[in-house]
């Protein structure tokens, strides 16, 4: 989506704020003993309070309000009834449709006491997102985003899950352009004013960069069981620094 008027900008900001409020509510509720299913129900209540619907449910028939992935699950995890335990790594991916506008963001966190490797993985993935947003400037080539993510992962020795990528977003979850999390020389088109992107690095402490889909048909996990982290924001390209719509 490219925002060209105030109506679209207001719509995207509303959707982004529902994302932020949902993530904050789930993050505050995460503790040992709670189940991802209960966290998904909480997300549903936040959505209802703000006139939002689950975009994955509307577009793809996903049986969830939000995706919740645990440990070696990377993205699109279906919330289960298995209680979270100390040391678990949990990723929460929130994508509401608010009156026809879609925003998308994710956070990962660990329940104490987490291993030093997991804590470094979380810090690196969040830093990769920050670096990617920093270079997403008007007129810069699209592939600078992936280059920034790739550099951050390599610097700290974590595995970039190359099969998964960011994307355009706005009226639907997945719009053009695709935003790979690595440098792709062909993607040299300049970023233009008003372009809305979901930027989402996904890294693992394992060695395998390829992924697999579980029997539920939704949950994507690492092939070698390595823990995975996922951070994401929806941003809009402006003449200055990008506007983070899901902050």
Residue ranges for the known binding site are: 76, 93, 104, 167, 174, 200, 232
Whether the Cβ atoms of residue 198 and residue 170 lie closer than 8 Å to each other: no
Q: What is the dihedral of CA 103, 219, 44, 118, to 10 degrees?
A: -80
Sign for the CA dihedral angle at 163, 169, 174, 176 comes to: negative
Residues near 12 by Cβ (< 8 Å), separated by ≥ 6?
1, 3, 101, 103, 170, 196, 234, 236, 245
Q: Phi, psi at residue 194, to the nearest 5°? A: 85, -5
- As a whole number of angstroms, the distance between CA 83 and CA 78 comes to 14
Per the annotation, where are the binding residues for a divalent metal cation? 93, 104, 167, 200, 232
Per the annotation, where are the binding residues for substrate? 76, 174
DSSP β-bridge partners for residue 168: 175, 197
Burial label, 176 (beta-carbon count in 10 A; 0-12, 13-18, 19+): exposed
- As a whole number of angstroms, the distance between CA 242 and CA 117 comes to 31
């Amino acid at each position: 989506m490219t925002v060209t008027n105030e109506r679209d900008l207001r719509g995207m900001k509303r959707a982004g704020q529902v994302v932020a409020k949902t993530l904050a509510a789930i993050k505050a509720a995460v503790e040992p003993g709670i189940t991802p299913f209960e966290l998904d129900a909480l997300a549903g209540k936040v959505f209802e309070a703000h006139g939002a619907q689950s975009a994955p449910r509307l577009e793809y028939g996903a049986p969830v309000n939000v995706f919740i992935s645990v440990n070696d699950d990377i993205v699109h995890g279906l919330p289960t009834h298995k209680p979270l335990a100390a040391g678990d790594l949990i990723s929460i991916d929130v994508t509401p449709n608010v009156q026809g506008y879609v925003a998308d963001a994710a956070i990962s966190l660990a329940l104490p006491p987490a291993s030093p490797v997991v804590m470094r993985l979380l810090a690196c993935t969040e830093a990769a997102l920050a670096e990617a947003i920093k270079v997403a400037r008007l007129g810069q080539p699209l592939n600078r985003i992936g280059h920034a993510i790739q550099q951050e992962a390599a610097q700290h020795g974590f595995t970039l899950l190359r099969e998964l990528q960011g994307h355009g977003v706005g009226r639907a979850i997945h719009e053009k352009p695709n935003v790979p999390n690595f440098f792709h020389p062909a993607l040299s088109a300049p970023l233009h004013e008003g372009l809305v992107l979901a930027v989402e690095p996904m890294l693992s402490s394992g060695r395998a960069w390829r992924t697999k889909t579980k029997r539920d048909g939704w949950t994507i996990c690492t092939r070698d069981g390595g823990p995975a982290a996922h951070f994401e924001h929806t941003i809009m390209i402006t003449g200055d620094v990008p506007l983070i719509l899901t902050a």
